């Protein structure tokens, strides 16, 4: 199959983010069929791994989509979220409270990388594997397939300090969400379309407990919630306790109707006042985004197309292209040259087993970061 080059104009953004490093460029130079000659079976092999993993655990599908979004939204699609260690000594992105124990799908990426490395050593980047895997996860969950352009290189840095203030959180409303997406070269329509990923997966109770307990001085429950829905949430989720372990918190599906199928039912649920997070419900409180929600609820085919297009745009954020930028990692969790730190008897088949510092405890703060990531709990 001939390579079809996808040309995109560079979108340089005007507004500066708090840390300066988050303004994004949508970069041209990626190609559909990039590995057609160098590793022609790569996409099929990755798809097989993803499908096999999802057949054993349906939570892998939303986890991979979320992993892709979390990687691309901060420093671009450079697989920085996959790194266990940063060569500069920074605490990596995956240990941020926006990620941490809630990341799902890392092992799937490890398996896909090991599989492809056995076929075509040092050829397919981890950033491309993650982009392919997110597409394959969406397709496994019910979305029609779409092309993924490739040619990304893997980054060599990862720092969890890049996230605070630069990432959408569950408590955000439309103006702030729109601002953050705009800084990444994404439109308000992209925001609403990508929010449809919440038709699969779910969230831990602490992500929305502020809506069902102690909402305000005048109302214990957020009055914008459907009363029966709020009552069901309270049956699953006890009042928050700062001493509870967040990892043990119950989880609730974003979409109680078709929670394992990626479809437009999410938008109908929003209009029925059954949006789980504040950021979900915010989409029907804003006039402009509500019109988009209503349109997607009426026309699932249109939403599927807009979702795929938005995922393609996300996949082009600040990508590294060319042999003079980044690298093709041999293992997705390590920058090349760090492999000697790994336990030798697990190499190369089990790259997720390696010596590393103990994980940082998740902060026992009830607001903890209400504040911890737009797609958090996506498993």
> Which helix (H) or strand (E) is 296 found in, with range?
helix 287-298
255 labeled binding residue: yes
364 labeled binding residue: no
Rounded Cα gap, residues 241 and 33, in angstroms: 51
| Distance in Å from the first CA to the final CA of the chain | 36
Please name which of 378, 31, 17 lies closest in space to residue 207, comparing C-alpha atoms. 378
Residues tagged active-site? 70
User: Which pair of tokens denotes residue 28?
Assistant: 């041209």
Classify burial at 170, counting beta carbons within 10 Å of its beta carbon; exposed 0-12, middle 13-18, buried 19 or more.
Answer: buried
Rounded Cα gap, residues 86 and 77, in angstroms: 16
263 labeled binding residue: yes
Rounded Cα gap, residues 198 and 66, in angstroms: 10
DSSP state letter for 21: S
Is 365 within 8 Å of 373 (Cβ atoms)? Answer: no
172 labeled binding residue: no
71 labeled binding residue: yes
Rounded Cα gap, residues 336 and 271, in angstroms: 49
258 labeled binding residue: yes
78 labeled binding residue: yes
Rounded Cα gap, residues 54 and 261, in angstroms: 12
Distance of CA 155 to the CA centre of its chain: 17
93 labeled binding residue: yes
User: Which pair of tokens denotes residue 168?
Assistant: 């959408």
Classify burial at 320, counting beta carbons within 10 Å of its beta carbon; exposed 0-12, middle 13-18, buried 19 or more.
Answer: buried
Binding residues: 71, 76, 78, 80, 93, 168, 198, 255, 258, 263
**Binding-site annotation: residue ranges for Ca(2+):** 71, 76, 78, 80, 93, 255, 258, 263
Binding site listing for substrate: 168
Binding-site sequence positions for heme b:
198
């Amino acid at each position: 199959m001939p390579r079809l080059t996808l040309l995109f104009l560079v979108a340089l953004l005007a507004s500066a983010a708090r840390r300066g490093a988050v303004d994004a460029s949508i970069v041209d130079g990626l190609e559909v069929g990039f590995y057609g000659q160098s590793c022609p079976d790569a996409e099929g092999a990755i798809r097989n791994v993803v499908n096999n993993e999802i057949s054993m655990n349906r939570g892998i599908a939303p986890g991979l989509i979320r992993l892709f979004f979390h990687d691309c939204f901060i420093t671009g699609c450079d697989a920085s979220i996959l790194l266990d260690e940063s060569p500069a000594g920074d605490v990596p992105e995956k240990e941020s409270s926006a990620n941490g124990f809630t990341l799902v799908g890392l092992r799937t990426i490890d398996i896909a990388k090991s599989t492809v490395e056995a076929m075509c050593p040092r050829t397919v980047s981890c950033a491309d594997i993650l982009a392919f895997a997110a597409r394959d996860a969406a397709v496994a969950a019910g979305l029609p397939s779409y092309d993924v352009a490739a040619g990304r290189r893997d980054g060599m840095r990862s720092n969890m300090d890049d996230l605070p203030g630069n990432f959408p959180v569950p408590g955000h409303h439309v103006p702030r969400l729109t601002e953050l997406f705009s800084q990444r070269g994404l439109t308000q329509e992209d925001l609403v379309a990508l929010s449809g990923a919440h038709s699969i997966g779910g969230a831990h109770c602490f992500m929305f407990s502020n809506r069902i307990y102690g909402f305000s001085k005048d109302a214990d429950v957020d009055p914008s919630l459907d009363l029966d829905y709020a009552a069901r949430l309270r049956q699953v989720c006890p009042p928050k306790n700062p001493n509870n372990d967040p990892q043990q918190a119950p989880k609730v599906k974003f979409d109680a109707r078709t929670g394992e199928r990626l479809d437009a039912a999410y938008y109908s649920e929003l209009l029925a006042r059954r949006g789980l997070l504040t950021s979900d419900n915010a989409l029907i409180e804003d006039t402009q985004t509500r019109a988009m929600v209503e349109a997607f609820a009426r026309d699932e085919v249109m939403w599927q197309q807009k979702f795929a297009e938005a995922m393609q745009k996300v996949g082009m954020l600040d990508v590294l292209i060319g042999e003079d930028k980044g690298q093709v990692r041999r293992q997705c969790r390590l920058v090349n040259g760090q492999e000697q730190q790994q336990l030798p008897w697990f190499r190369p088949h089990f790259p997720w087993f390696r010596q590393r510092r103990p994980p940082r405890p998740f902060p026992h703060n009830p607001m903890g970061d209400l504040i911890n990531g737009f797609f958090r709990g996506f498993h």
